[in-house]
Chains A and B, each alone.
Chain A
Amino acid sequence: EDQVTQSPEALRLQEGESSSLNCSYTVSGLRGLFWYRQDPGKGPEFLFTLYSAGEEKEKERLKATLTKKESFLHITAPKPEDSATYLCAAYNDYKLSFGAGTTVTVRA
């Protein structure tokens, strides 16, 4: 059965303190790895799609990378507005299989 595991569950950072979130996956027929940001009480907001090992994508202070078994979301010099839950999801032909997320809190 498809499995997506995120670590850590929670991450508390000081403003400017860079860190990485991990997403490991066991998915048959993987066709892409997605990252979303979710604020409390809202729907997930699309960030990135990665399709092949070695691929990297960046958006502002976020950079996502992909290997054959895991993906990383690097947050560089975070600001308080980066506080959110970050979800990764594995995509096969039609559905996304999500991890439980990493809740990031950035203190000023």
Chain B
Amino acid sequence: DTGVSQDPRHKITKRGQNVTFRCDPISEHNRLYWYRQTLGQGPEFLTYFQNEAQLEKSRLLSDRFSAERPKGSFSTLEIQRTEQGDSAMYLCASSLVSGPEQYFGPGTRLTVT
């Protein structure tokens, strides 16, 4: 399967702990995006990379959130000092610069207790 993959699929953590998620995009895609989706809502944009450069961050991305794409391939999203309000599905998508179609991974479901 050459689609977008995400790991882990599910994460349960206690409030105050740090968590890290990984996303592997479609291999030839040079843009990578992170979105967050809460129950009953559509995904909300968090940030995106073109190759290794992080080009845009949403106001939703507080100081506790950090994303990296060190070699322009996979990306990680870290949440420090998790809060119950961080509970959501975290979605990764990728695309080509030349074409806007974004293809999503299966998501990581985060539950903060």
- Which A residues are closer than 8 A to B by beta carbons? 4, 31-32, 34, 36, 41-46, 49, 87, 89, 91, 94-101
Stretch binding the partner chain, chosen from B11-19, B63-71, B76-84, B97-105: B97-105
Q: How far is the CA of A19 from the CA of B71 in the complex (A)?
A: 46
User: Can you list 8 residue pairs at the A/B interface with Cβ under 8 Å?
Assistant: A31-B100, A32-B100, A44-B43, A95-B48, A96-B45, A98-B41, A98-B44, A100-B42
* With A43-B91, A44-B43, A101-B42: A96-B102 Cβ-Cβ less than 8 Å: yes
- Which B residues are closer than 8 A to A by beta carbons? 4, 31, 33, 35, 40-45, 48, 55-56, 91, 93, 100-107, 109
Nearest CB on B from A16, distance (A): 28
Closest A residue to B107 using CB positions: A43
Choice from A4, A45, A100 contacting B40 with Cβ under 8 Å: A100
Nearest CB on B from A9, distance (A): 9
Q: How far is the CA of A90 from the CA of B91 in the complex (A)?
A: 17
Q: What secondary structure prevails in chain A residues at the interface with B?
A: strand
A46 touching B40 by the CB < 8 A rule?
no
Closest B residue to A98 using CB positions: B42
A87 touching B100 by the CB < 8 A rule?
no
Query: For residue B44, which residues in chain A have a CB less than 8 angstroms away from its CB?
Result: 98
B104 touching A43 by the CB < 8 A rule?
yes
Q: How far is the CA of A81 from the CA of B31 in the complex (A)?
A: 32
A45 touching B104 by the CB < 8 A rule?
yes
Q: How far is the CA of A94 from the CA of B4 in the complex (A)?
A: 18
Choice from A4, A34, A89, A95 contacting B56 with Cβ under 8 Å: A95
Choice from B33, B40, B105 contacting A95 with Cβ under 8 Å: B33
